[in-house]
Amino acid sequence: MKVGIPSEIFPNELRVAATPKTVKRLQKQGFEVYIQHNAGIKANFSDKAFEEAGAKIVATAADIYGNSDIVLKVKEPAMEEVDLMKEGLVMLSYLWPAQNQPLLQKLADKKVNAIAMDAIPRISRAQKMDVLSSMANIAGYRAVIEGAFHFGRFLNGQITAAGKVEPAKVLVIGAGVAGLAAIGAANSLGAIVRAFDTRKEVAEQIESMGAEFLTVEINEDGATASGYSKEMSPEFIAAEMALFKAQAAEVDIIITTAQIPGRPAPKLVLADHVAVMKPGSVIVDLAASSGGNCELTQNGEVYTTDNGVTIIGKLNQLPSQASQLYGNNLCHLLDDMGKAEKWKIDMEDAVVSRAMVTYNGKINWPPAPLPVSPAKPKAAEIAVEDPKVVAARKNKKEATSMFIKLGVIGVLLFAMGQFAPGEFMQHFTVFVLAVFIGWQVIWNVSHSLHTPLMAVTNAISGIIIVGGLLQTKDDLSNSLVMTILASAAILVASINIVGGFVVTHRMLKMFKK
C-alpha cells in the first residue's frame, strides 16, 4: 500500500504529517512512502533527509492524491485539494467536522474515507493517537516561553549584588493538557504559579505540578463525561469574573487555554480585566484561533494595549517537534488499523468508527455517543466513620495485640523455667527484654525518621540501656566500678538516642521551604 504526504498549502501551517523518523516507521509497517517536493521544508526537513529515510519524492500534490491509497495531512484540505483525490482514498487529517459540513459533503461526494484526527475519542486506548493532547502539550510549553520573552524580566526570584528580583506571578486559566504543560514549564522556570479550572477534580493535578489551585465560593463542578468543561451557571461566571479581575491586577502573565469543541472560545479575560493589569504584563491566548478567551485578542497578531499589556494571539508551532509527535500519532492509528499487511477499516472499532467522518460516500458525523462507566458516588455521598472512633478502635486493637504477645512470651518463659538452669534463665530473660525494648524503640519512630542509621543505633542503644539498668541493681556482688560503668553506659546511650532525633529533625527542616 502507498502512503502519500502532500505539502500543506496554508501559508501559516509549518508542520508536515511525516518526518524522516516516522517515514522509517511507516516502512516497517509495510507501506511505501511518497512525499511531495519540499513538503517538510517549513519544519526543517529537507527532501534529502526524507530520501535517506527511504521515501520517494514526487513533484505535485496531484501525484500524491491520485496515486496513494492513504494520505496523511495536517490541516483540513481545501476544496481544490479534494478535487484531486481519487475515489476510495483514505485520508487522515485535522477536519473539525462540526464546523466544516460543506467539506464533509464534498469528501463524501468524492467517496473519500476521511478520518478526523481531531475527533479521536478521549479514551484510554486512544491516548497514543490523541493529536489534540500532543499539540496542546507543545502549545502550553511554548506559551510560557513566549510569555517570558515578551515579559522582559526574570521569571524566577533572585538575590544579586545589584539587588533583589521578585519572582513573576503566572496565572493559568484552564488545566487541561495545555494548561498543565504551562504550569509545569512556568514552575520549572521559578515563577509563582496559580491556576483555575471549573473542574474540581483537577485540583490535585494542579497542586502536584507545583501551582496553587484557585476556586470560587460556589459549589458547582464543570466536569463532564467527555473530559471537557461544561458551561457554568450565571452565578458561577460572575464569581469567576470577579476572581479573574482581582488576579489580573496582581499577576504578571496570564495564559488562557479554555476551548469548547465546535463552539467559540468562552470570554474569560474582559477589557476591564486588561485595564487593571500592570504595564509590562502579558496575556497569552491559546484559544485565539477560535475567537480567543480575551476580549481584546487579535488572532494571528501580537500587540500592546494603551496601558502597556502585551496580548499574544499567535505562537511559534515548534514545527519540527510538532511534526514528530503528530507523525507518531498517525503511525499509532495505522498500527491499530492493521498496518499494510492486515489493513482494515473496522467500523465496529470504537476509535475508528467515531473518527471516520465520511465513509463509503456517506457522512458519519456526529458519531454515536461513547458509552462511559457509571459515575462513582461523590465523597459526600459515601458514609465516613468518625476519625476519633476509627483511631480508638485501632488503639484498642493494638493494645490487645500487645497483651497477647506479652502473654505468649510469659508462658514460653515460664515453661522454659521449669527445665532450664536458673543462671541460664536470668541471662535469657535479660536478652528477651533487651530485644523487645530495642524493637519498640525502632517501631515507634516516625516514618520520616526511619533511616538505616537511626534504626540500628536506636536498637543498639536500647539494648545497652536495658543491660545497664540491670547492672545497677543494689547487690553486694556488684562492685562500685561496675555500677559506675553501667551508669555511664546508660547516659551515653540515652544521649545517642535523643541526639539522633534532634539531628535528624534538623536535617529534615533543611528540605522544607
Per-residue pLDDT of 141-182, as tens digits, reads 999 999 999 998 889 988 878 888 899 999 999 999 999 999
Which is nearest to 430 in space by CA: 469, 458, 474?
469
Out of 253-262, 264-273, 401-410, 472-481, the most confident range is 264-273
**How much of the chain exceeds pLDDT 90, in percent?**
55
In the numeric block, the cell 516516625 is attached to: 446
The pLDDT tens digits of the residues spanning 440-450 come to 666 665 555 55
pLDDT at 458: 72
pLDDT at 310: 96
What is the pTM assigned to this prediction?
0.69
* 45 vs 201 pLDDT, higher one: 45
Going from the C-alpha of 481 to that of each of 144, 155, 461, 470, 494, the distances in angstroms are 73, 67, 21, 15, 20
User: Which active-site residues does the annotation give?
Assistant: 122, 127, 130, 133, 228
pLDDT at 157: 86
* Residues whose CB is less than 8 angstroms from the CB of residue 414 and which lie 6 or more positions away in sequence, other chains included: none
Mean pLDDT of the region 412-418 = 76
Say if residue 485's pLDDT is above 70: yes
pLDDT band at 198 (very low <50, low <70, confident <90, very high): confident
Say if residue 378's pLDDT is above 70: no
Query: Average pLDDT over the chain, rounded to whole?
Result: 86
Query: Cα–Cα distance between 320 and 133 in angstroms, integer?
Result: 17
Mean pLDDT of the region 293-322 = 93
Pairing mode of beta strands 2-5, 32-36: parallel
DSSP 172: E
pLDDT at 495: 86
Say if residue 134's pLDDT is above 70: yes
Could you check whether the bond before residue 366 is cis, i.e. omega within 30 degrees of 0?
A: yes
pLDDT band at 381 (very low <50, low <70, confident <90, very high): very low
* 272 vs 458 pLDDT, higher one: 272
Say if residue 225's pLDDT is above 60: no
* Residues whose CB is less than 8 angstroms from the CB of residue 99 and which lie 6 or more positions away in sequence, other chains included: 262
In the numeric block, the cell 536495658 is attached to: 466
The pLDDT tens digits of the residues spanning 430-439 come to 777 777 776 6
* 325 vs 500 pLDDT, higher one: 325
DSSP alpha helices (H): ranges in 258-386? 271-275, 319-336, 350-355
Three cell numbers, residue 373: 462507566
pLDDT at 143: 95
Q: Give the dihedral sign, CA 418/423/428/429.
A: positive
DSSP 463: H
Say if residue 314's pLDDT is above 50: yes
